[in-house]
Amino acid sequence: MELVYPDRSPAWHDLIYTLQDLLIEYPDVYLVGGVVRDALRERFAKDIDLATAGDGRPVARHLANALKGDFYVLDAARGVGRALVPFRGERWVIDVAQFRGPSLLADLGDRDFTVNALAVPLQGELNGIVDPLGGVHDLFRKGLRRCSEHALQDDPVRALRAVRQSLAFDLRIEPATLADVRLAGQHLHEVPGNGCAMNLWLCWRAPSHGADCWLCISWAVGRSPARSRRCGYGSLAGCAGLAGGVAAVIGGLSA
């Protein structure tokens, strides 16, 4: 599989090297998604996503046992397990999932945005990146681009994720992706409230928050700023626990 070697190598937390040692008997495990994106940005988030060709649950259980943490099954049908582990006084979340599709490339192609469609073989030098869609280039030029024409149609909540990641990572949503964000935004009211709550909350916590956050969401889904403000900050503040409030906010933004 062809690897991309960016001019600026990823910066890995020491836990990644520990995972290398612990999973030496698991050759087909990849670091995927946000952990790779953040390493290229020299940031360390305390959650790590791994993907593998087989069932991810045994891998997650092995890590939980080795690091004296806890193991949970997240999705038995899709072979997804979670290890909550301590490392140097901090708590880390490690999710291990079976590929979405027949291969790693199929998995990456099914993701939301190219900056998240990145993978690094865990059993390797950790400098080469599997980047079938040009996500490294997009990240360094500060662009947010969809992985495919159907990426946002498949999951309208990705419209909120586009706004959130644009705010959090200072990325410009490229025109075709923005058009799809606006189309997907028209269907957000059809999504159950729980499907939107976390992304709304994370938008609120982004560096540009409060009124600026609502203006960005309004702009992205094609809504007037005045109407978006009238949707009510109270509903947003309670979105983490009130799915009905979230649905109301989404309906107001998307109507």
Mean pLDDT of 11-26: 97
CATH architecture of 14-140: 2-Layer Sandwich (3.30)
**pLDDT per residue over 68-116, tens digit each?**
999 999 999 999 999 999 999 999 999 999 999 999 999 999 999 999 9
Q: Could you tell me what percent of the chain has a pLDDT over 70?
A: 74
The fold of the 146-254 domain, in CATH, is Hydrophobic Seed Protein (1.10.110)
The answer to whether 14-140 and 146-254 have equal CATH topology is: no
Question: Could you tell me the residue ranges of all domains in the chain?
Answer: 14-140, 146-254
What is the pTM for the complete model shown? 0.81
Please check the confidence at residue 123 and state whether its pLDDT lies above 80. yes
Please check the confidence at residue 120 and state whether its pLDDT lies above 90. yes
Dist. CA 125–CA 42, nearest whole Å: 17
Mean pLDDT of 200-206: 60
Quickly state the pLDDT bin for 198 (edges 50, 70, 90).
low
pLDDT attached to residue 204: 60
Quickly state the pLDDT bin for 222 (edges 50, 70, 90).
low
**pLDDT per residue over 142-158, tens digit each?**
999 999 999 998 888 89
Q: Characterize 46-73 residue by residue with b for buried, 16 or more Cβ atoms within 10 angstroms of its Cβ, and e for exposed.
A: eebbbbbbebbbebbbbbbeebebebee
